[in-house]
């Protein structure tokens, strides 16, 4: 009888132990992961070089465009423009063109790149336009080049 009770008890303990393992609860989770995008920062265009203008002349003007963003960008265009008044020299005496400018280099994050534009002085520029520094507002279009 004792032997039989011990066997029944062992079977009961095994069954309970197995039952506990079998009855272990499981669950799953769900929810949302949050991530926020950054805000793009405007680039700045600065003049690097450009000199030698005289009436009718076309010269290279080199500008640098910076990328203050944390991602690479590509310059897709620099708009043609004309000069502001300079002393008594009329507005529009100098024009710029980006025709023929290569926009293929990618500006790395926090990097910069130079671009060569053409600047032309009007053939009818007056004597008042001698030894003058012309301000030509430039606007560039940039797009993300992140992969």
pLDDT single digits (tens) 38-66: 888 999 999 998 889 999 999 999 999 99
pLDDT of amino acid 23: 64
Residues 83-102, mean pLDDT to the nearest whole number: 93
DSSP string covering 9-73, please? HHHHHHHHHHHHHHT---------------------EEEEE-----TT-EEEEEEEEE--SSS-E
9 assigned to some structural domain: no
- pLDDT band at 85; cut points 50, 70, 90: very high
For residue 88, pLDDT over 70 is answered with yes
What pTM did the predictor assign? 0.74
- Is 7 part of any domain? no
pLDDT band with cut points at 50, 70 and 90 for residue 100: confident
The answer to whether residue 86 is domain-embedded is: yes
Indicate if the pLDDT at residue 76 is higher than 70.
yes
Position 69 in a domain:
yes
* Average pLDDT score over the chain: 86
Cα(98)–Cα(107) distance, integer angstroms: 18
Q: Is residue 94 a part of any domain in this protein?
A: yes
Domain assignment present for 81: yes
Q: What is the pLDDT of residue 81?
A: 96
**Is residue 26 assigned to a domain?**
no
Place 69 in a pLDDT band, splitting at 50, 70 and 90.
Answer: very high
Which domain does 65 fall in, by range? Answer: 45-144
Query: For 74-80, what is the mean pLDDT?
Result: 94
Q: Examine residue 27 and state whether it is found in any structural domain, yes or no.
A: no
Q: What is the pLDDT of residue 64?
A: 95
Number of domains the chain is built from:
1
- For the chain, report the end-to-end CA distance as a whole number of angstroms: 78
Rounded to an integer, what is the distance from CA 85 to the centroid of its chain?
33
Using alpha carbons, list the distances in angstroms from residue 66 to 42, 86, 113: 9, 26, 7
CATH of residue 80: 2.60.40
Minimum mean pLDDT among 16-20, 76-80, 131-135: which range? 16-20
- What is residue 38's predicted lDDT score, i.e. its pLDDT? 85
């Amino acid at each position: 009888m004792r032997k039989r009770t011990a066997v029944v008890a062992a079977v009961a303990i095994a069954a309970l132990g197995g039952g506990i393992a079998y009855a272990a609860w499981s669950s799953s989770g769900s929810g949302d992961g949050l991530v926020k995008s950054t805000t793009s920062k405007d680039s700045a265009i600065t003049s690097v070089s450009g000199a030698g203008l005289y009436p009718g002349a076309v010269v290279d003007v080199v500008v640098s465009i910076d990328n203050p963003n944390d991602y690479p960008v590509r310059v897709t265009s620099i708009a043609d423009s004309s000069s502001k008044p300079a002393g008594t020299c009329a507005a529009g005496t100098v024009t710029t063109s980006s025709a023929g400018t290569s926009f293929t280099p990618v500006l790395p994050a926090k990097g910069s790149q130079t671009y060569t534009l053409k600047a032309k002085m009007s053939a009818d520029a007056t004597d008042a336009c001698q030894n003058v520094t012309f301000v030509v507002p430039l606007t560039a279009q940039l797009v993300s080049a992140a992969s």
